[in-house]
Chain A
Amino acid sequence: MARNTLYNKVWDAHVVTQLPTGQFQLFIGLHLTHEVTTPQAFDMLKERNLDVAYRDRTVATVDHIIPTDNMARPYADPEAENMMAALEKNTRDFNVKFLNFDSGRQGIVHVIGPELGMVHPGMTVACGDSHTATHGAFGSIAFGIGTSQVGNVLASQCLSVDPLKVRRIEIDGELGPGVEPKDVTLYIIRQLGVQGGVGYAYEYAGKVFDDMTMEGRMTVCNMAIEGGARVGYCNPDQTTYDYLKGREYAPGDDVWDKAVEHWQSMASGPDAEYDDVVKFNGADIPPMVTWGVTPGQSVGVDEGLPDPSSFEGADSATAELAYKHMQFVPGQQMGSVNIDVAFIGSCTNGRLSDLRSAAEIARGKQVSDGVQAIVVPGSQQVKKQAEEEGLDKIFTEAGFEWRNAGCSMCLGMNTDKLVGDQISASTSNRNFVGRQGSPTGRTLLMSPAMVAAAAVTGKVTDVRDL
């Protein structure tokens, strides 16, 4: 049983009571909500005559269904219009803070929470979205939940949960040139498997994470769930405090030292004990690319594709299914794969540093003939900052479309969808069958620099060769 880790400390500070079932009632310090997983939860409140318990700990935005090209209302898609209207009505009826377009603060829920300084070390966070672990980058414990649980958090600001085990994933050494946080998270998932984290919170530690920016840590924590771990986090440090300082919802100067002192006290202690520890070397991590239909089916960009028989048991069948769907063959080099679409964005890689990294590759080049390349900033603020730096010009001059903020082609809930069996080089988080809106569509997950490289060459490309 883990003890004295950040996970344990945050848990202890937030336990309300043990329930008769043996589960625990945990207080949630920040509830982030969006249009897709809340309508039925607000309906439940109405049916049971319940109110939102803690408005000051609840915030809403819109991200999943909105078009990122033509945003004029009503939306072309009537279902999207209905969802947006429902969120507008529910946030009005229940008096919940709604960061809509007019606020200038709209964006993907996992981008805006951090950039507004809402997420602090030592906090518990919940959101009706599996990528909520993103907020663990700040040393918070963040849970992805379903809609009935969203209803619970709205009504009580609490969840009923069982404690998790804690696995420390320690990566020392230095990352090589061209290797980004996305590669680190894909590497971890490949090593530990897409189910390896079931039942665990992942603590990411070691020199690679100590050296990583907050936005990089968010990318890694974001994909904890793709490795089976519902929760992932980094311990807070000076990088965390520097990021938070001065942000809208961060503590002010008058209480800053006190806040930092509290945050430091929540970090895993030197005597922390873990249920499991795994160690990797940062120098072993290459730029990664997925070839299959789970985020664990990936290779280093210069590696050949594996033989299905090299996987054990049912994983071998999963690999065969992947080969069939992807139309790839064992032994093939990913460098030979042509792409149709390049997508830069999402809660994984839609932040300013991601756009900078992609723009660095795209600068002065042209998107390859026949490739549709789109850049979707993670938030209105990311978009504004990128435009102030001239990144939008670099992208548009290179032939990329420059969009408004939203989830867009990560999950194909708006009009951005793959068509037929198109291949997409994508900075998003899931290569599941049908994920990007076409049942036969094919997704290759990679870093922003790698996607930009694929966009300009028209095929999967080792960014180190550019």
Chain B
Amino acid sequence: MSENKVQTITGKAIAIHGNDIDTDRIIPARFLKALSFAELGQYPFNDERFDENGKPKDHPFNRASSEGAKLIFANSNFGCGSSREHAPQSLGRWGISGLVAVSFGEIFAGNCEMLGMPAAMATPEDIATLQETSDRNPLAEFTMDLNQMTVSCASESVSVPITIAEGRRMSLINGHWDSTGTLVANLDKAKSVYESLPYTSGYK
């Protein structure tokens, strides 16, 4: 599974400003009616990027300089609200590979992990530094490093520490984030738990 290892991500970054950016904003519910995630890369922040007639508005995701960006720098509680995996799917399929924020909605962060997208945290001050740097120089390349636990930008002489739950970090850097195989491998152990639970046998 070495091809699944997520250790460093290097690329341009997009600053998304504001607290409590919910998953309805990231991907409105009408896009959840697709039976596949395949097309979702067209739609992140759709209703903030386009007006009712489909005319583009000023939004970080619409700027030419954002093309090919791999990182998002956000404030607190990013991805709060709905459990829709469609939110990180749409960001990922657009091209985002990693996120750094003051904090994340918990289900969103779990969904990111399932997709091998690190959702790491930094202090409000360090997030402000990262956002200011990428706003000022949208073409600057940043590196998110899960071994060093930093996000840095050599050309701007910026480097800040990041945190991520150790279990999540381990699953990413070792390429074990696709947990289905691991869980299925323990089905025998799961069966003993199943058999030990009073409700599975009707409390007999």
Binding site for B on A (CB under 8 A): 13-17, 19-23, 25, 27, 29, 36-37, 39-40, 43-44, 48, 50, 53-54, 56-57, 64-65, 77, 79-80, 82-83, 86, 120, 122-123, 128-130, 132, 144-149, 151-152, 155-162, 194-195, 198-199, 225-226, 228, 230, 251, 255, 258-259, 262, 294, 313-315, 317-318, 321, 411-413, 430, 432-435, 437, 439
CB-based contact A130/B77 at 8 Å: no
Interfacial residues of chain B within 12-47, with CB under 8 A of chain A in the complex:
17-20, 22, 24-25, 28-30, 32-37, 47
Which chain A positions have C-beta within 8 A of B83? 37, 128-130, 132, 144-146
Q: Does B76 contact A (CB under 8 A)?
A: yes
**Could you list some 26 contacts between A and B, CB below 8 A?**
A21-B168, A21-B171, A27-B193, A40-B36, A145-B110, A146-B114, A147-B86, A156-B183, A156-B186, A158-B190, A161-B110, A162-B168, A194-B80, A195-B19, A195-B76, A198-B105, A228-B77, A228-B105, A251-B202, A255-B203, A259-B203, A262-B199, A413-B32, A434-B28, A434-B47, A439-B52
Which chain B positions have C-beta within 8 A of A86? 35
Which chain B positions have C-beta within 8 A of A77? 33
Q: Does B1 contact A (CB under 8 A)?
A: no
Q: Does B115 contact A (CB under 8 A)?
A: yes
CB-based contact A321/B30 at 8 Å: no
CB-based contact B203/A158 at 8 Å: no
Contact bitstring B167-188, A, C-beta under 8 A = 1, else 0: 1101100101001101110110
Contact of A146 among B20, B33, B110 (CB under 8 A): B110
Contact bitstring B54-97, A, C-beta under 8 A = 1, else 0: 00000000000000000000011100111111101000000000
- Count the B residues whose beta carbon is within 8 Å of the partner chain — how many? 66
The distance in angstroms between the C-alpha atoms of A221 and B22, with both chains bound, is 20
Contact of B190 among A25, A161, A430 (CB under 8 A): A25
Q: How far is the CB of A236 from chain B (nearest CB, A)?
A: 13
CB-based contact A37/B84 at 8 Å: yes
Q: Does B149 contact A (CB under 8 A)?
A: no
Residue from A57, A195, A411 with most neighbouring chain B CB atoms (10 Å)? A195
CB-based contact A37/B85 at 8 Å: yes
CB-based contact B194/A54 at 8 Å: yes
CB-based contact A230/B187 at 8 Å: no
Contact of A79 among B34, B75, B80, B170 (CB under 8 A): B34
CB-based contact B77/A194 at 8 Å: yes
Which chain A positions have C-beta within 8 A of B199? 29, 120, 122-123, 259, 262
CB-based contact A194/B20 at 8 Å: yes
Residue of A nearest to B22 (CB): A432
Which chain B positions have C-beta within 8 A of A44? 180
Q: Does B3 contact A (CB under 8 A)?
A: no
The distance in angstroms between the C-alpha atoms of A128 and B176, with both chains bound, is 22
CB-based contact B111/A149 at 8 Å: yes
